[in-house]
Amino acid sequence: MSEDKEQSLITHLEALRETLIRCFVAVGIILPFAFFISPKVLNFLIKVLVSDNNITLNYFAPMEVFILQIKLALLISFVLSFPYILKKVWNFVLPALYENERNFIRASVFISGTLFCFGVIFCLFCILPLIINFGISFSGNNVKALFGVSNVVNLALGLSLTFGLMFQVPLVVFMMIKWGILSYEAVSSKRPYVVVILLISAALLTPPDIVSQILLFVPTYMLFELGLVFSKICNKNQA
């Protein structure tokens, strides 16, 4: 019996190794194409960020823009190969799942991906232009705004990831209530604690300025309330 378990473990480890290798190969295959389009993506990103502001982004090292393009190429390659990676991972875990678990995971992954995309889009087109405008507002006769391209793009990527993750809050709240980890009444009665937790999270996940923290906290709390609304509707339907 122990030999069968050991053989099964080895088989699973080999399958996992093959899955990881295929995922890395997929990223590597797309990488040259991603590097080719990374300058265009960088220009589009800069155009979105600076918006209608009459500012020019600067770089302060000879290789700064090139390194930034490499980072973008890696990110683009991962994003483009993500459906394939997700499919390979899904095929790996599929045999161990029951039908109801498969349906639940499919729905959860779809909703999570949609929320993440909405968070990234909301950050890029709504939040970051506000942050840049706020920074420009301090410019005057004696103080001029000089933005570095790496600082702005890294800020955009970091905040986009942060907003994408924080937009998972309604799904997390809904799943915790649906699984019975917490009741709707328990979560709704702890709103002051939720506010404190979200404020602390916003402070830790954003640059050290109050504007970014508020701009992250407000939509995240609204999404928390949205998760509660869906949980309440789901509980009524089940009842």
Question: In this predicted model, what pLDDT tens digit does every residue of 109-128 receive, in sequence order?
Answer: 888 888 888 888 888 888 88
In a domain? residue 223: yes
In a domain? residue 217: yes
* Tokens describing residue 139: 């410019």
- DSSP helix/strand/coil, 58: strand
* Tokens describing residue 148: 């570095």
pTM metric for this prediction = 0.77
As for how many domains the chain has, the answer is 1
Average pLDDT, the chain: 81
Question: In this predicted model, what pLDDT tens digit does every residue of 123-151 receive, in sequence order?
Answer: 888 888 888 877 777 777 777 778 888 88
pLDDT of 130 reads 80
Kindly tell me if the per-residue pLDDT of 174 is higher than 70. Answer: yes
In a domain? residue 118: no
pLDDT of 228 reads 84
Return the percentage of the chain with pLDDT > 70, whole number. 91
- Print the domain residue range for 198: 168-239
* Residue type at 69 in one-letter notation: Q
In a domain? residue 215: yes
Radius of gyration of the chain (CA): 22
* Tokens describing residue 25: 């190969």
In a domain? residue 177: yes
In a domain? residue 188: yes
Question: Please, which residues have CB within 8 angstroms of residue 126's CB and are 6 or more apart in sequence?
Answer: none
